[in-house]
Amino acid sequence: MISIRNLTKQYESGQEVLKQISLQIDDGDFVALLGVSGSGKSTILRCLTMQEKWTKGQLIYNGEDVTAMNLLQRLKLRTEWAYLHEKPQLNPNKSALKNVLSGRFFETPLWRKIIGKPAMDEHMLAMDLLEKVGMLDKAHERVSKLSHGEQQRVAIAKALVKGAKMIVADEPVSGLEPESAIQVMQDLKHVCQKQQVTVVCSLHQIELAERFATRIWGLSQGKIVVDIPARRLTMREKDLIF
């Protein structure tokens, strides 16, 4: 379980983007974060993964205060979550499989890195995960030859191979055709349900949030204005967010 307590974020420019936000994420939740452009969605997600310094507040992860941890403790904890960018962060010149395996960089012994041959069990795991995101047939395809949506699905498999318990995704379906967007959302939903991975993602599309998430957060002017179990939003809730 994760608790965000009184998160306030002020950038050096003086702009207070997040104002005393308190939220809770239960294990296995699929949270969709909605808000207009510039409302602070990416800032919340970066704070949640400690990529951004908190001005005030506490992040409690399974009973431990992450905001009070030293750098080493935080680095250790960072293996528990993965961050998916709007544009998948993959090596375009390597195959989908090699990209997924690179997610195990820190667990792979140096000699294996040098000879470039993964252990059999790691290979099987990566192939298994590629199958789960419907990319098994493209495992040996170079990433540069994959579509944006396919790359995002490879990025999900890479997040899982490192054993992430939470995937935080910043607009993972931005710029995708509706069909690809649905596939990526289905993959995230699938890993959330079958792999017990918690998912938090920002979205612009209300209908995707309503269809795939278990919880919806709405952000407006630095505050959470909606925090509900996922369902169709009322006109009032939409007005509050947008």
Ligand X SMILES: Nc1ncnc2c1ncn2[C@@H]1O[C@H](COP(=O)(O)OP(=O)(O)OP(=O)(O)O)[C@@H](O)[C@H]1O
Applying CB under 6 A, which part among 34-42, 57-65, 72-80, 160-168 lies near ligand X? Answer: 34-42
CB 30 within 8 A of CB 166: no
Nearest CA-CA partner of 199 in 154, 158, 159, 161: 159
Angle between the 178-194 and 120-132 helix axes, to the nearest 10 degrees?
A: 130
Pick between residue 45 and residue 146 the one whose CB is nearest to ligand X. Answer: 45
CB 7 within 8 A of CB 44: yes
Binder among 1, 11, 53, 68 for ligand X (CB under 6 A): 11
Pick between residue 38 and residue 63 the one whose CB is nearest to ligand X. Answer: 38
Pick between residue 44 and residue 157 the one whose CB is nearest to ligand X. Answer: 44
Applying CB under 6 A, which part among 10-18, 104-112, 140-148, 188-196 lies near ligand X? Answer: 10-18
Applying CB under 6 A, which part among 12-20, 107-115, 121-129, 130-138 lies near ligand X? Answer: 12-20
Binder among 43, 102, 152, 183 for ligand X (CB under 6 A): 43
Sign of the torsion angle spanned by Cα atoms 172, 197, 231, 183: positive
* Interaction of residue 40 with ligand X, rule CB under 6 A: yes
CB of 13 to ligand X, least distance (A): 5
Angle at Cα 228 formed by Cα 226 and Cα 230, nearest 5°?
A: 120
Chain residues binding ligand X by CB under 6 A are 11, 13, 15, 17, 35, 37-43
